[in-house]
Amino acid sequence: MQSVPALLNTEEKPLRLILAPMEGVMDGIMRDILTSIGGFDRCVTEFVRISQTVLPPRVFYRLCPELKQDGRTAAGVPVFVQLLGSDPHLMAENARVAVNLGAPGIDLNFGCPAKTVNKSQGGAVLLKTPDHIERICAAVRHAVPEAIPVTAKIRLGFDTDDHFEDIAESAIRGGVDELTVHARTRRQGYRPPAHWHRLAELNQHSPIPINANGELWTTTDVATCGRVSGCHRFMLARGALCRPDLALSVRAAIQGAPQPSTSWDDIRALLISYLERNASTYDPRYACNPTKQWLVYLQYYYPQAGALFARVKRLNQFDQMLTALKAPAVTEPAELVDAA
């Protein structure tokens, strides 16, 4: 494994690791589990869609249950509320509500590629109109107290990355405190590679911190992204679902400390807790699907997850799923994939 310290000098600028917003995956339960493992400085909620109204508190509480505990996960990691919409006034009013409910920060989504979202002028479609991004950022920045950070998440562009600098500068002019860049265009979707090098110049000259995002699956990816982009701040998304101790691993690698050894049995215990908490928080009838979804991610790092997924993919009853998760593996545990 390439050593991270050689590539990422964190003496001048501290490392920051943010757990990404992921609609339908990264809910309060998953944030709680992943931040309890450690290594993260912040989380961002799934997007709260703002279309025509100022939303009632119950919507914010549903998407950000942490608002009932000071806007932090049980491990004490702050959770920013992400808003997605295009009306500056409505975005500002909803941001105000979230902050009054206890949100420690607001994040603005300018990256969602979903057609339904883009049709209603939200998410990545706004990358086509940087001036409008600036207006939204400015309206939200003015609406909430200065002490509350307002951050934005963008992509490199819509169809091409030709206007990336313009987009980033618009958000910065709008007054955001930090900018996260998913280093792909909307057209590039989620396909590798992520173009980390495009962040280098922005990161060098930006008056605000830049968080790099996209294709960060391993400690080596984070180190390489850091070297190529100059960033010391990273947002981890799918990689953190595949390898729940990724943030901890990055920190250990930087300090030259031993890597965390999260065994398959540790992960299985987390899966059981995830299933049970989904059943008790939502509905036992719907608790199996999120568990299967997580297994699909986990199998990239833990081959045992693939074998388990094959056994449970047709199960839809909570009790059956719980029994399957508790059963010892049929085969000998395979070696971990060397993802570093």
Ligand X SMILES: Cc1cc2nc3c(=O)[nH]c(=O)nc-3n(C[C@H](O)[C@H](O)[C@H](O)COP(=O)(O)O)c2cc1C
Residues annotated catalytic, as ranges: 112
Cβ–Cβ under 8 Å, residues 125 and 158: yes
Q: Which is nearer to ligand X, 182 or 243 (CB)?
A: 182
Q: Which is nearer to ligand X, 104 or 318 (CB)?
A: 104
74 CB contacts (<8 Å, ≥6 apart)?
Answer: 32, 35, 36
C-alpha span between 27 and 32 (Å, rounded): 8
Burial readout 272-311 (b: 16 or more C-beta within 10 A, e: otherwise): eebbbbbbeeeebeebbebbbebbebbbbbbbbbebbbee
In the complex, the smallest distance separating the C-beta of residue 21 from ligand X, rounded to whole angstroms, is: 4
Q: Which is nearer to ligand X, 127 or 322 (CB)?
A: 127
DSSP run (H or E) holding 180: strand 178-185
Calculate ∠ Cα 184-32-259, nearest 5°. 70
Q: State the residues that interact with ligand X by CB under 6 A.
A: 20-25, 46-47, 82, 109, 111-112, 153, 182, 190, 213-216, 237-239
C-alpha span between 80 and 40 (Å, rounded): 13
In degrees and rounded to multiples of 5, residue 146 shows phi and psi of -55, -30
Q: Which is nearer to ligand X, 84 or 322 (CB)?
A: 84
